[in-house]
Structure 1
């Protein structure tokens, strides 16, 4: 039986899912070493890492509200210069408190991506950060706040600024029609899902980030032990 996404596309059409994903068992959401997968409308825990998994009912409902969306962060980020012929885009790597990263599986592997980071073109008048926050919501159902810079990446038609972010709300089961699944992935397993050649630089950046965080944690633990002696 053909399954359709519960959300219609931007033209009001049904979106058939030719190879729909399956959700993982509920315990995976609280296992930091496991991949947890949500599908549209699936059952999820009430909260994750102390933050509710609930629909973002107050999400902006106009272009003007999206331009002013909360979660943007003023910091000294690198200049953004899209090469000639490439349109500006924005994406986001949302990291959970347990270290896992949120990824999306585009409906029907659109663009050749089985799994990737939320990303989309920047609408006229919108900032890169506001666009990244919007993509996290529309593609993954998440409400996020920007925390820093990850990388810039060029693809065939776009040049994308990727930010780091944290989840502050939202529900991945409320993903929009562009995604058929949302995954929460441990850093050690990112290479199993971020397999498209365009995502290799982002995978490397995320692995460097994870390695740096692990080193910092080990240093803090060693310092605490030293202080206790």
Structure 2
């Protein structure tokens, strides 16, 4: 382990052994997690007080939502897509908005499916033009789950220091998201509980 634990990179594969907790937040299965779409629509962790602009989606693109999950020590969770789908080496959890789900619920659901982590949303980061969609990304904190219980869309989940994300993210849009996150944390980190 590095002398500065905030600089350590952690890598989790499916069914890997995970520590009991990290930054005082326990790891473990999400007991009682939603299974039906209607239950996901009401999933905890959404923020009714977030002011969200209308998402402008050009013709031919879909709406999607994702999460940038930040630990209190400012390390960030990223996923390694199975088979590096779409040419992504690593990325942030994201998926297409499903009928009946808000963008916030979609982001929480996709975060869990791709990383195994249960999250609570903190803030809106922004909307980003992707190859086939416009993605709305939220900054989130981990409130449970386990990075060894991710679904089939991922082959690994990694915890990376904020200032090292550029070593992992190979798509320009993800690098823009990381830069916007760094700005947000610089300006709002203490208020959001990031040390």
2:176 to 186, 189, 201: 201
Structure-1 residue corresponding to 2:54: 79
For residue 170 of structure 1, report the CA deviation from its aligned partner: 0.3
In 1, Cα distance between the equivalents of 2:176 and 2:36?
33
For residue 135 of structure 1, report the CA deviation from its aligned partner: 0.6
Instruction: Map residues 93-172 of structure 1 onto 2, 5 A cutoff.
Output: 93-172=68-147
For residue 81 of structure 1, report the CA deviation from its aligned partner: 1.8
For residue 205 of structure 1, report the CA deviation from its aligned partner: 0.5
Give 1 or 2 for the bigger CA radius of gyration.
1
In 2, Cα distance between the equivalents of 1:43 and 1:206?
29
2:11 to 37, 52, 60: 37
For residue 213 of structure 1, report the CA deviation from its aligned partner: 4.8
Q: Check the 8 A contact 1:132/1:163 in 2, yes or no.
A: yes
In 1, Cα distance between the equivalents of 2:103 and 2:33?
18
Normalising by structure 1, we get a TM-score of 0.78
- The SS at the match of 1:173 is coil
Q: Check the 8 A contact 1:187/1:210 in 2, yes or no.
A: no
Aligned residue pairs total 189
In 1, Cα distance between the equivalents of 2:62 and 2:188?
33
Normalising by structure 2, we get a TM-score of 0.92
In 2, Cα distance between the equivalents of 1:149 and 1:212?
14
Structure 2: runs of 5+ lacking an equivalent: none
Bigger proportion of residues as helix: 1
Structure 1: runs of 5+ lacking an equivalent: 1-26, 218-229
Provide the aligned C-alpha RMSD in A: 1.6
